[in-house]
Copies of this chain bind each other. A is one copy, B any other.
Amino acid sequence: MTETVPRPTLEAVAARAGVSRATVSRVVNGSDGVREPLAERVRQAVDELGYVPNQAARSLVTKRHDAVAVIVAEPETRVFADPFFARQLRGISKELTAHDNQLVLLLTEDRDDHVRVGRYLAGGHVDGALVFSLHIDDPLPELIQRAGLPTVFGGRPDFNGGRGGVSYVDSDNRGGARDAVRHLLGLGRRRVAHITGALDQTSAVDRHDGYRDVMADADPRLVARGDFTPASGERAMRELLGRHPGLDAVFAANDLMAAGALRVLREHGRRVPEDVAVVGFDDMLPIAEQTEPPLTTVRQDIEEMGRLMARLLLRDLDHTGTPEETSGARPDGLILPTTLIRRSSA
């Protein structure tokens, strides 16, 4: 809109209600000490004029914006291409909405933009931050820390945050990976390959560690690096078939890469699961049900992770400054269990 109706002012409300500016301010900011008939008159004037309190001024009093920033430490293009993020955002959105907090998603093109994100966070526009998909050496955590904002991470960060610790929600990535590989061994497979996720992220490192817990003596050429994208799953599968044509099973660190691996196996005439059994990670629907054959995978409850991140943060915001919270009495990391889901691929 190039032209806008002038906003009704505090003064206009005061005049309409026949009270002082200070009285209007007190009522609008929800402080006590204004007698009821007077307070009611102010509220009526607010309604009649459609007065919207200046939140910047209001939040100087309440110290709350009722808004939470969400930062996905990935380029905007990946945020929309990988359904993992949509699912986590869904959980966050539901929880924040239930508490009448605005979800403020800060999108970026690349890591250079994180400085600008830090500036916005420091600007007093949100009460706290939810951050996911951190990569090692990302400048974001330090920028957020400087901004002085309560933060909950999705996925274990690779630093401990000093004395106070770091709040995060994660899945049992290592345990889930162990379950996947043990399941493959239980089917009688012996040459179990692994396609890793982006190894600058703890989720990928933990799943790789889980694979190695079970396959400690395996040929290292059975491991190929991916980065969680479908294309990287295809590439890694080709690499593995070239290096190790006798492999009889693959554990991929997420379902998108497993789907890519299935395409390449089909291309090479390998039957799944007869020749090569495949297990993914995530249980990303509908993808995991629509692959050929449908994918056996390790389920993590991504939406619930998002919901819990939001819940932890809102609890932090409600308790800021109480001694129990700041002394680190509560657990820093909340780890959700995973479940192996059997379909046809293994």
Contacts and interface: CB of A to CB of B under 8 A. Distances in A.
A116 B100 contact: yes
A161 B86 CA distance: 34
Contacts of A316: 2
Nearest to A6: B148
Contacts of A328: 2-3
A118 interface: yes
A106 B150 CA distance: 20
A298 to B, nearest CB: 23
How many copies the complex holds: the figure is 2
A40 B113 CA distance: 25
Contacts of A83: 80
A55 B124 contact: yes
A3 B117 contact: no
A74 to B, nearest CB: 12
A165 B55 contact: no
Contacts of A50: 146
A132 to B, nearest CB: 15
B1 A166 contact: yes
Contacts of A122: 7, 52-55
A244 interface: no
A59 B57 CA distance: 12
A145 interface: yes
Interface string A123-164: 111000000000000000100111111110000000001111
A97 B151 CA distance: 24
Interface of A: 1-7, 50, 52-56, 58-59, 65-67, 76-77, 80-81, 83, 86, 89-90, 93-94, 97, 100, 102-109, 113, 116-120, 122-125, 141, 144-151, 161-167, 316, 325-326, 328, 332
7 contacts: A2-B150, A2-B167, A55-B120, A55-B122, A65-B125, A102-B117, A102-B119
